[in-house]
Copies of this chain bind each other. A is one copy, B any other.
Amino acid sequence: MNDVHRQSASLEERVIALCRAARDAAPALAGASTETKNAALRAGAAALRRRAADLLAANAGDVAKAKTAGESPAFVDRLTLTPARIEAMAYGLEQVAALPDPVGETISEWTRPNGLRIAQVRVPLGVIGIIYESRPNVTADAAALCLKSGNAVILRGGKEAFGTSALIAEILRDAIGELPSGAIAFVDSIDREAVRILLRQAELIDVIIPRGGEELIRAVTAGSRIPVIQHFSGICHVYVDRAADLAIAERICMNAKVERPGVCNAMENLLVHREVAARFLPAIAASLGAAGVELRGCAETRRLVPSARPATDADWDTEYLDLILAVKVVDSLADAIAFIRRHGSGLADAIVTTDEAAATRFTYEIDSAAVFVNASTRFTDGFEFGFGAEIGISTNRLHARGPMGLRELTTYKYVVRGNGQVRT
């Protein structure tokens, strides 16, 4: 008991020391020039390439353990590094170096009647904790985005990739030159207690970004005293209006469901206006069927598409992440909006219509992070939005909403200049 106690105290001390070093590094990161940060990123890329053999060796150890533990082939694949994947990580660092630096940007400025000049200036958040699963590339990716946005980062990767992730973090930390090494911290313990300790350091960490499945995010949120940027499920809708261009509707539905069904911005529910259902549904059902999609429909859908299985109430609220689609015929735009408000997850929803009034009403009344008119929900993505990077997609309403790039890793301060003004 005493031994356990001692060990646990020492883990806590180590984790807190790491957090404190990151906190101490934050001002130097915040003050670092764009050139210094870019040089560190490019040096990191070069170091990853130079040490590719060491990375492959460390990764082989992780992969062997994962296979012995009976992990699934998909899991082992995500865990595995190859020379091409190492090159992709290195290239990713160089791409982040090439992005504009958000820090120091003047968001807005104005002058008060008393002559005070007020500027709202973008500054880093400070210290960011990233808790992620066993994907080694997240280590490089997250570290690069935090560094470029002037933040210190504390990385806590999944235990199955521990050897690989620890080495990636070490290589990057060794490469950052004049910046303090505390800027890229890696929690060197696979003990879950380390996460619990991390999540209590509200004085030392400004925000936690979990990257992984819903279970991870719920566990992190439940245990955290620090604000958590959440990414919960995406139950995305496409609504095919009575004034839809049905060729466009078919293209968008196929893309939103089939191109990559396992992601949060894929369509899960299809709504079709009654007036076009007879023309649209049999055709799209044939195309979706040919692509291997199972349809679960309302009564009217099943009348038009007899091969569809009946949808249960649960189907409208399910994120399949698979080649399954729930389909419902609705009587009006208003019904579609009401349905999406009730069953949508607020991530991304689309209308297909040539009716500008219907489109505008949809964009006003659907309060999702991204609302699309005549475009696929699959565009809900930092790269597709033109951010040049993505640290995640937020389903929070506070701070950042939807795809998060470098700007979303910043906050602001007000710089107020006067010539002796006092308040009366």
A residues with CB within 8 A of B? 27, 30-31, 110, 112, 116, 118, 123, 125-126, 206-207, 227, 245, 247-248, 251-252, 254-256, 259, 341, 359, 363-365, 367-376, 378-379, 381, 384-386, 396-399, 401-402, 411-424
* Interface of A, helix, strand, loop or mixed by DSSP: mixed
Which residue of B245, B248, B398, B416 contacts A206 across the interface (Cβ within 8 Å)?
Answer: B398
B423 and A376 within 8 A (CB): yes
Interface centre among A248, A359, A397, by most chain B C-beta atoms within 10 angstroms, is A397
Chain B residues within 8 Å of A412, by CB? 401
Of B251, B378, B396, B418, which is within 8 A of A420 by CB? Answer: B251
Q: A372-B418, A375-B416, A376-B423 are in contact. List 4 more A-B contacts (CB 8 A).
A: A255-B423, A371-B415, A379-B416, A379-B421
Given that A206-B397, A398-B207 are contacting pairs, would A255 and B422 also be in contact in the complex, using a CB cutoff of 8 Å? yes
Choose from B364, B397, B420 the contact partner of A411 (Cβ within 8 Å): B397
Nearest-Cβ distance from residue A352 to partner chain B, whole angstroms: 8
- Nearest-neighbour CB distance to chain B for A187, whole angstroms, equals 22
Query: Once the chains are docked, how many angstroms separate the CA of A247 from the CA of B420?
Result: 9
Q: Is the CB of B420 within 8 A of A374?
A: yes
A369 to B417, CA, bound (A): 14
Q: Are B401 and A399 in contact (CB under 8 A)?
A: no
Bound form: Cα–Cα A126–B123 in Å: 27
Question: Whole-angstrom distance between the alpha carbons of A385 and B421 in the complex?
Answer: 13
Complex: how many Å from CA A414 to CA B412? 21
Query: For the complex, what is the distance from the CA of A401 to the CA of B207, rounded to whole Å?
Result: 14
Which residues on B sit within 8 Å (CB–CB) of A411? Answer: 397-398, 401
Contact check, A369 vs B252: say whether CB atoms are below 8 A apart: no
Q: Tell me, rounded to whole Å, the shortest Cβ–Cβ distance linking A405 to chain B.
A: 12
Contact, CB under 8 Å: B384 / A423: yes
In the bound complex, do residue A398 and residue B251 qualify as a contact, i.e. CB atoms below 8 Å apart? no
Please report the C-alpha to C-alpha distance between residue A207 and residue B420 in the assembled complex, in whole angstroms. 38
Known contacts A365-B31, A413-B368; A116 and B401 CB within 8 A of each other: no
**A227, A255, A367, A402: residue with the most chain B Cβ atoms closer than 10 Å:** A367
Contact between A27 and B227, CB atoms less than 8 A apart: no
Bound complex: CA of A237 vs CA of B249, how far in Å? 60
